[in-house]
Amino acid sequence: MRQMEADEVQDGPDVADVYAEPDGTIVLRFHHQTRLTLDHTRGVTRAQIELSRGEKRAVLADVRGLISSDRGSRELAAGPTIAAVTARMAILVGNPLTRLIGNFFLVVSAPAYPTRIFSDEVLARAWLQEDPS
Amino acid sequence: MTGPVSSFDDRLESAAALALQIASGDLEARRSVSNHGDAIDALVSSLNMLAEELQHERKGRRRAEEALQDEVDAYERGPALFCSLDGDSLDVETCNGTLATAVGLPKSQIIGRSVLELYNPEFRELAERWFRGLPLSASADGSEAHLARADGGHVIVSTGASRIRSGTGRERLRVVFRDVTAERRLESQLAQAQKLEAIGRLSGGVAHDFNNILSVVTGAAALLADQLAAHSLESEDVVLIQEAVARGASLTRDLLAFSRRQASRAVSTDVRNVLLEAVRMVERLVGEHIVVTADLPSEPLHVLIDPSQLSQVLINLAINGRDAMTMGGRLHLRVDPIPASQLDASATELPAGSYARIRVTDSGVGMTDDVRAQAFEPFFTTKPAGKGSGLGLSVCYGIIRQVGGRITLQSEPGNGTTVEMFLPLMSGASHSVLPSGSPTPRGGRETLLVVEDDPAVCMVTRRILERAGYHVSSAQNGRDALAVAERIGYDIDALVSDVTMPSMGGIELGAELRRRKPTLRVLYLSGYTENLAAMAVPLESGSDFLGKPFTASTLLVRVRRLLDERAAPLSRESMARETMAREAHDGLSREGPSQEAPQPVCHERWPPSPRGG
């Protein structure tokens, strides 16, 4: 688990590192070869909510390690629970599979907050820092 | 889920197979994604997710379909009668199964026809006016109407409707009928029962007053007869007077029976015995052109009723049946035990319990609906003038209702008539028989107190008793009677008192006097009293009852018998019972019928095998 500051890191589930950066961005880095289920996503969600401390934050979701995600995890991630603590989400993908997973999430699950897919982390972070207006 | 496949072609082929499975409807199919992360993996992953989404959609659709089917079932088979109409033509466009069932027609014969054709003709004009007058976007409730049934009957409905504009711009009417047939039938029965009750009260009141008048006439006629030479013209005139009084008394007795105010001696009675006696009498009454048969159970059926009154009921019904079969026919009497477990309380409108059901069925001309509706009303008759008083069925009604039973009548023109009676069964096998015979009236020297609020009846009664040798004091109400009794030191051997008097009735007076003289005997007089069994006053030693109008000889016989029964003072139990009776008469409390017969028990006759069946 990458640790920035002790009080800004939450123990995520086995499938991801979840932490907050000094600028407030919440980072979700999924581990290599993760088959994401609803239970996993619940754990990640709890960690994200804890780190957000009641505020909507920019979220960088690095899904380059995912192999699959089930419907339950996609619905939870797209639903009002995450939307309550997410200002916008940049999804970082790395190969055709993860791009497909990201597109499926974007198109079919239709999250209730602004979402974009990136293959470049720098661009992703830049977008997260943009003024929404 | 199938495991990862190695070569590119194999992986591609596996993905294609997955797509085929999904397309064929197997939404459970999945393939494992390898860790190549390439386009094949992406393809397989997307197919897996596609199958998952389709599966979710399918479950949702099934739930929606089930919910829709529940709604359809509720609409189609619910209690209300639904239909929708074209707003202009009033043609039925849709209707539910309940409406089709109610009118006895298939939907195909309802849809496409005007809703007005569902109504009985007399309601169509009003219904059309109401439907057409309903404004757009308004809902309203209409008046009740009759929908015609295919079998010739009708359904009474209340109507609600709303006029709407459909998506195509066309106006439609949404109509809901509520079947209120059962409610109206119950209301009608209640109204009929209340009407008969009111007529009964009126009849009973008239009969009571008339009985007092007859008492004076018959008493005075008896006194007059004593002074005339036997077989003289004048004595024959007196006989005519007495015979006329007897006919008048019979009429008032019938009226009181209808009003359920006839004095009766209800005892535990085996219905079979009464039925057998009645059959023998009926056979003589109806003539040879009518076959009389009977069905009786092998076990006794005891009900609490005056056997002479039950016999009267059966005779009345048999006479009606005879008159309906002028060309001959069949009259069948039947009695069955109906245990509590077999009683359909809701259909018979009887309290739960066991009953004896008596049916009298004839194969006569039957009755129309109008005649049947009035059959139990007093003085209603279809017979020619002078051929019937119109009280026969009324009397039956009063007698049966008086003992807590129920009597109904089913009849159709050309299909005969069945009268059905339910009488509450009781346990116990005692069957008392009233003493028969005509004792010779005798007088005496005892001291009597006569109390009667009608001055003429009081005077005649006093004179009859004085003529017979008794020392008689009299009063016209209970309070005066107490004063008279006190003045003579309560030296009274018997009280002869009317039951119903203002301020203090006869029962209360008797109880008061017995507190001062426990050996006092009491003869109650009335033509207007409740069933003594309901008063919880078994006529035990020390008291008796005489209905008005009474003859002089009957009065003398009963007084003499009462005085001759004098023995020990009345027990505390007897006085307590009189107190209960007084309270019952005042309406303060009511005890159930006594199970004990007032007379010694007679052994029961075993009925012979019934004839026919």
Between chains, do B46 and A100 touch, taking CB under 8 Å as contact?
yes
Banded pLDDT at B144 (limits 50, 70, 90): confident
Q: Which residues of A touch B52 (CB under 8 A)?
A: 70-71
Say what percent of chain B tops pLDDT 70: 81
The rounded distance, in Å, linking the Cα atoms of B519 and B599 is 21
Closest CB to B42: pick one of A71, A74, A100.
Answer: A100
Structural tokens at position B262? 């006839």
Nearest neighbour of B53 by CB, restricted to A69, A71, A96 = A71
Task: Mark yes or no for CB contact B49/A97 under 8 Å.
Answer: no
Contact criterion met (CB < 8 Å) for B35 and A68? no
How far is A6 from chain B, CA to nearest CA, in Å?
A: 33
pLDDT, mean of residues A30-52: 93
Q: What was the pLDDT predicted at B3? A: 61
Residue with the two structure tokens 């007196």: B238
pLDDT value at residue B194:
74
Average pLDDT estimate for B216-241: 84
Q: Distance from first CA to last CA of chain A, Å, rounded?
A: 34
CA distance B455 to B546: 18
- Closest chain B residue to the Cα of A75, Cα to Cα: B53
Confidence of residue B530 (pLDDT cuts 50, 70, 90): very low
pLDDT at B584: 45
pLDDT score at B431: 40
Report the percent of chain A where pLDDT is more than 90: 78
* Predicted pLDDT of residue B528: 57
- Residue B598 in tokens: 């007032």
Describe the crossing of helices B233-258 and B181-227 by its angle, rounded to 10 degrees.
160
Q: What is the mean pLDDT of chain B?
A: 80
Burial (CB count within 10 angstroms: exposed 0-12, middle 13-18, buried 19+), residue B167: exposed
Return the pLDDT at B98.
95
Using the Cβ of A110 and the Cβ atoms of chain B, whether some distance falls under 8 Å is answered with no
> Among A37, A73, A93, A100, which would you mutate to test the B interface (most chain B Cβ atoms within 10 Å of its Cβ)?
A100
Most confident of A2-11, B29-38, B55-64, B211-220: B55-64
Closest Cβ–Cβ partner in A33, A70, A108 for B35: A33
Tell me whether residues A100 and B45 touch, CB distance under 8 A.
yes
Confidence of residue B395 (pLDDT cuts 50, 70, 90): confident
Structure confidence at residue B613 as a pLDDT band (50, 70, 90): very low
Burial class (CB in 10 A: 0-12, 13-18, 19+), B185: exposed
The pLDDT of residue B531 is 39
Least confident of A71-75, A79-83, B296-300: B296-300
Distances (CA, A) of B115 to B94, B105, B158: 11, 13, 15
B93 neighbors B115 (Cβ within 8 angstroms): no
In this prediction, residues B171-187 reach a mean pLDDT of 89
The residue of chain B nearest to residue A100, with distances taken between CA atoms, is B42
pLDDT of residue B533: 35
Higher pLDDT, residue B138 or B485: B485
pLDDT at B347: 64
Asked if B49 and A33 come within 8 Å (Cβ–Cβ), the reply is no
- Scan residues 538-577 of B and list those with Cβ closer than 8 Å to A: none
* pLDDT tens digits, one per residue of B268-290: 888 998 888 888 878 877 777 88
Least confident stretch, B16-25, B76-85, B133-142, B293-302: B133-142
Prediction ipTM score = 0.76
Res B315: pLDDT: 85
Per-residue model confidence (pLDDT) at position B171: 93
Nearest Cα neighbor of B226 from B549, B467, B557, B556 is B467
- What are B159's two structure tokens? 């109507």
pLDDT at A17: 94
Tell me what pLDDT residue A43 has: 93
What does the DSSP 8-state code read for residue A15?
T
Q: Do B49 and A98 touch (CB under 8 A)?
A: no
- A95 CB neighbours in chain B (<8 A) are 37-38, 41-42
Q: CB-based contact (8 Å) between A109 and chain B?
A: no
Q: Report the residue from B39, B48, B56 with minimal CB separation from A68.
A: B48
The whole-number average pLDDT for the span B130-134 is 90
B606 pLDDT higher than 70: no
Chain B partners within 8 Å of A101 (Cβ): 42, 45
Query: What's residue B136's pLDDT?
Result: 87
Strand partners, A17: A29
Enumerate residues 6+ apart whose C-beta is below 8 A from B329: B289, B290, B291, B321, B362, B363, B364, B416
Task: Over range B243-265, report the average pLDDT.
Answer: 70
For A72, name the nearest residue in chain B, comparing CA atoms only. Answer: B52
What's the CA dihedral at B364, B365, B366, B368 to 10 degrees?
A: -170
Q: What is the Cα–Cα distance from B178 to B158, expressed in whole angstroms?
A: 5
Q: What is the tens place of the pLDDT at every residue in B289-328? A: 889 999 988 888 899 888 888 888 888 888 888 888 888 8
Nearest to A97 among B37, B52, B56 (CB): B37
Mutation pick from A97, A101, A104, A106 vs chain B, by most beta carbons of B within 10 Å, is A97
Question: What DSSP line would sit under B198-220, residue for residue?
Answer: HHHHHHHHHHHHHHHHHHHHHHH
Which helix H or strand E contains B573, and what residues bound it? helix B572-585
Average confidence (pLDDT) over B187-197: 74
| Count of alpha carbons within 13 angstroms of residue B595, beta-carbon side | 5
Please spell the DSSP secondary structure of B230-285, one letter per residue. Answer: TTSHHHHHHHHHHHHHHHHHHHHHHHHHHTT------EEEEHHHHHHHHHHHHHHH
Q: What pLDDT, on the 0 to 100 scale, is given for residue B429?
A: 44
Query: Which residues in A lie closer than 8 A to residue B54 (C-beta atoms)?
Result: none
What are B427-462's pLDDT values in tens digits? 544 444 334 445 566 788 899 999 998 888 898 899
**Confidence bin at B262 (pLDDT 50/70/90):** low
DSSP state of B70: H
Q: Please report which helix (H) or strand (E) contains residue B101, including its range.
A: helix B97-103
**pLDDT score recorded for residue B503:** 78
* Structural tokens at position A107: 């198109």
Whether the CB of A100 is below 8 Å from some CB of chain B: the reply is yes
Interchain pair B43, A100: CB under 8 A: yes
The pLDDT, as a whole number, for residue B186 is 79
Alpha carbon of B36: minimum distance to chain A alpha carbons (Å): 8
Contact between B52 and A70 using a beta-carbon 8 Å cutoff = yes
Distance CA(B310)–CA(B266), nearest Å, equals 10
pLDDT for the residue B541: 56
What letters, b where the CB count within 10 A reaches 16 and e where it falls short, cover A116-133?
Answer: ebbeeeeebbeebeeeee
* Cα distance between residue B501 and residue B495, in whole Å: 15
Predicted local confidence at residue B57, as pLDDT: 94
What is the C-alpha to C-alpha distance for residues A115 and B139, in angstroms, rounded to an integer?
A: 50
Q: Give chain B positions within 8 Å (CB) of A74.
A: 49
Q: Is pLDDT of B240 > 90?
A: no
- pLDDT band at residue A7 using 50, 70 and 90 as cut-offs: very low
The burial class, CB within 10 Å (0-12 / 13-18 / 19+), for B63 is: exposed
Of all residues in chain A, the percent with pLDDT exceeding 70 is 89
**Sequence letter at residue B605:** R
pLDDT of residue B359: 94
- With contacts defined as CB-CB under 8 Å, which chain B residues touch A33? 35
- The dihedral through the CA atoms of B187, B193, B196, B201 has a sign that is negative
pLDDT of residue A124: 96
Q: Which residue has the higher pLDDT, B29 or B391?
A: B29
Place of tokens 């399918």: B58
Answer for the pair B591, B416: CB distance below 8 angstroms, yes or no: no
CB contact under 8 A, B37 and A68: no
Q: Å from A54 to nearest chain B CA?
A: 32
